[in-house]
Structure 1
Amino acid sequence: MDDFIAARAQMAMSLGFHIIFACVGMVMPFLMAFSHWKYLKTGNEIYKGLTKAWSKGVAILFATGAVSGTMLSFELGLLWPEFMKHAGPIFGMPFSLEGTAFFIEAIALGFFLYGWNKFNKWFHWFCGLLVGISGLASGVLVVAANSWMNSPSGFDFIDGQYLNIDPIQAMLNDAWFPQALHMTVAAFCATGFAVAGVHAYLIIKKKNVEFHTKAFRIAVAFALIGAFGAPLSGDIAAKSVAERQPIKLAAMEAHFETEKGAPFVLGGIPNEETGEVKYALKIPKLLSFLATNDFNAEVKGLHDFPRDEWPPVAVVHYAFQIMIFFGMVMMAIGGVYLIAFFFKKEWLTKHWFLKTFVVAIPFGYIALEAGWTVTEVGRQPWIIYGIMRTADAVTPMPGIQYSFYFFTAVFVSLSLIIIFLLKRQIQMVPKLYDPTDPNYQTKSKKS
């Protein structure tokens, strides 16, 4: 394997793995805090059991995310030294702030896990909420660093030198808000659907139905925020991309020729050599409207840009289509849930209804990975858009393929361990937190 490809593959694999735990860390603590709040308001022991069950899952995934995030930090320096040499002083601020947020999250999580019956109940609840706030802050700050790579600012690039550095301007670049908003909404959608699906499965298996029904409804509420917020945040992000990275937008839509009233392409197989997209469904003028709010506006095509600056069109286009498809499916599922909740209560206990959420467990994360692929691959061949090419940033050290194999083995091992731990935790839930168990109160106090 070529060292450059190996370095990119290792980074892609590491990011693809870590992003799942980052998103869980951004959202799962809020589910936990909401359940805890319900317990404090109602005194219902089921909510207390649910809070403890979710907190154990948060702890497992937090530990894993810490490992994968630390590995990523080292990989940036080991695989892309030329990038870090110049970019580190510019966008180091969000990374340093992210480290602070991470430590706050770790301390708050420790307080929450071991603070039952030791702290004031509302301070204890606030510790759980703080886990979510600091986790969300961590995610936003990391995205701010990534968005700088898509919209570099906060410095002057003169004769190959990075001068007049302003780290605040670099952190608050033009892309950070659209990317951070869309990422946050996607995290709520993906995590909400995944958690709801797990509890729907356990309801179908008739394991502690009341417990899992309450958990399912809380998770779905968070999932709906993401499902219906994603199109709005996606529209903001798409308009930002159209303004800052028109070549990425063209690749997303496999849009080869500049035209006014450009159509929105659904599906299709792009051919970079001929500039054609076969078997696509085209919606007239919609791309122009989505990019500019004007149905007749001009949208630049790929042929307006140098060929050596094109990203891999097929990869970006397919990833964009996958993201849209699963996003629309989750919106549809959310719509069905609202119909059931307000008008068709009997649907809420039907197996077909619950199985829909079980099937949807991976949908949010598939869309999330596809969206991240659009963001990262769509920026190629640049590691710093318009300034530094990815090929110029890679380490000259040979043998990177062995590092790729090693890190892949580590991440696969971590995945298997996580699956084992979460499966065991899910299996323990009805035993530890079943309020129909006469020993439940004793167990609850001990835990």
Structure 2
Amino acid sequence: MDNTKKKSNKQKNNQTVYSILFIIGTCHLLNDSLQAVIPAMFPILEKSLGLTFTQLGLIAFTLNMVSSVMQPLIGMYTDKHPLPYALPLGLTSSMVGMLGLALAPDFWTILISVFFIGLGSAVFHPEGSRVAYLAAGTRRGLAQSIYQVGGNSGQALAPVITALVLVPLGQFGAIWFTLIAGLAVFFLMHISKWYAAQIKLFSSSKKSQIIKRPNKKMSKAIKNAVIVLIFLVFARSWYTAAISNFYAFYAIESYGLTIAKSQIYIFTFLVMGAVGTFFGGPLADRFGKRNVILISLLAPAPLALLLPHIGAVSSVILLALIGFLLMSSFSVTVVYAQELIPGKIGTMSGLIVGLAFGMGAIGSVALGSMIDLVGLTTTMIAISTLPLLGILTYLLPTDEKVRGWYA
């Protein structure tokens, strides 16, 4: 009887629960669309409050740094003590932040509001990734892609938000996004109930599993692989931060565009990044995670080098290709890190995704200051070399080698 029950639990754990994956992916879209409001407001805030590029960089730094620092800490805690109902609480924090952002009269109030949005994101991401893991069954790459593509789609909404909401309504238009936060809280209450029941099932089946502990040599190899991943995340995050936060200004300056028209470039980059994120997971399930990570950085490298030297129409095409290729490894990097250290799902998800936010935060400040010092064109030429760091992927152990460590 016990054997039959264990077999039944194992079969359930191996099934991919698409309904949960699509709901958590939708919530990820809603969560990240709230974050997308902040860089989308940069051109508005620059004019209405007279902010410098350095101050805009500090706003992005506050948002991304809070979520990046908190994510791995929350992930470490919830690996030992899962908190299913932390998900709706996190989005409630973001809802408070959005209300403050809409009403903020000065730079410092904006920073406080952004802090609450960052805190909500820090809670959501590691726990959302754990939900995707629990619902994945045997298709971890696909599951993580469904989850992450929701977030990237939310980020891609930033230019649409700017053109359709913030340009006509101004800063106060951000108040409409409190409704989006409320909708996410509603969905996450349903997810939390499923999550709580699944944790009990997963915990009971986990007791019968023995994960091989790494020896000294293997531990060193794992640490080296994590360091390489950090450099790869750095390259991708700084390049993405440059395009997402500042390319609209470059397009306005170089091509003489309006704020609304400049958003076409950012939207193209981000929406194709979301498409790339979706396809990256299934490709990694079939061709290997390390291979997808390698191609996603090296393939767009020559296109990135060419981007600052071409015309307005060609730039849109190149941004589409770069976005697709570069972001195809986003979810794959998370799954690769989770498999490097099994049993630390929240920690590794929080580390890699949080690291992406953190690197983007530092990049936003550094790039904003660099633009103030040397100008937009010089900065865009400098960051075009970052995808070349993808060559470091050759230092990562292959998927087969990682699986062999825990066989």
* TM-score greater than 0.5 by the shorter chain: no
TM-score, normalised to structure 2's length? 0.36
Structure with bigger gyration radius: 1
> Which structure shows the bigger proportion of residues in strand conformation?
1
TM-score, normalised to structure 1's length? 0.33
